[in-house]
A and B are shown apart, each in its own frame.
Chain A
Amino acid sequence: MVRVILPQHLRTLARVDGEVPLDIAGPATVNSVLDSLEARYPMLRGTIRDHTTKQRRPFIRFFACEQDVSHESTDTPLPPTVASGAEPLLIVGAMAGG
């Protein structure tokens, strides 16, 4: 079971509170987690990655175990502690403000 933490606006859009637990078939990767997330919450399709190219939206980042894994291949296995649910996968929006 993978625990996903969404940014506030996507929690609102998906109508979830807190973390999203997801059962992943096969190795836990960013791709497989997002496949599972979008299957359960179709309203999130297109908001994190492109519908067809599957490219991450520019202002979205993926954090795992205090590391930014946004630039790694989305098929790279996530750290074992994330795959086991001990640590969450954070999907975050880029900082903005001023």
Chain B
Amino acid sequence: MAVFRFTVNGEAREVDTSPDRPLLEVLREDLQLTGPKFGCGEGQCRACTVLLDGAPALSCITPVRSAAGKRITTIEGLAQGGKLHPVQQAFVEEGAMQCGYCTPGMILRTVALLERTPAPTRAQILEALNGSLCRCNGYPRIVAAVEFAARLRRSAVQAQEGSHAAE
């Protein structure tokens, strides 16, 4: 047992636990954040995706010790003040979910992709999301949602730049 401190969705958290426990289980069982999902336990489906210091991480194969001191974002931390993140908005508007179990992981992967590549081509989307499994096979709608999210995000950024320029 050891004490680990990190920031989860902007809040400082502390857990006293075994260092080898998967971060996924600490989030779900100790911190009651059930947004990240168990899908395989071997990093092969990405349902457990969270952002660690902004980069996508497979929380099912990440021991809690290696998250110490980091910034963790789960799906619960994405909407701000009740307002959906543009990627969440796009998934809603494009109907990019059937059962919805893979959705949190898909959304966080997309957030990370668009940070890096604001205007991805279809090929880049397929490449970035390839390891994220959806057994409902709702892939076409997810691709549509990512493309729409990119447009939403760009117009949000432009609006922000516009308002800065006006100041």
**Chain B binds chain A:** no
Q: Which residues of A contact B (CB under 8 A)?
A: none
Q: Which residues of B contact A (CB under 8 A)?
A: none
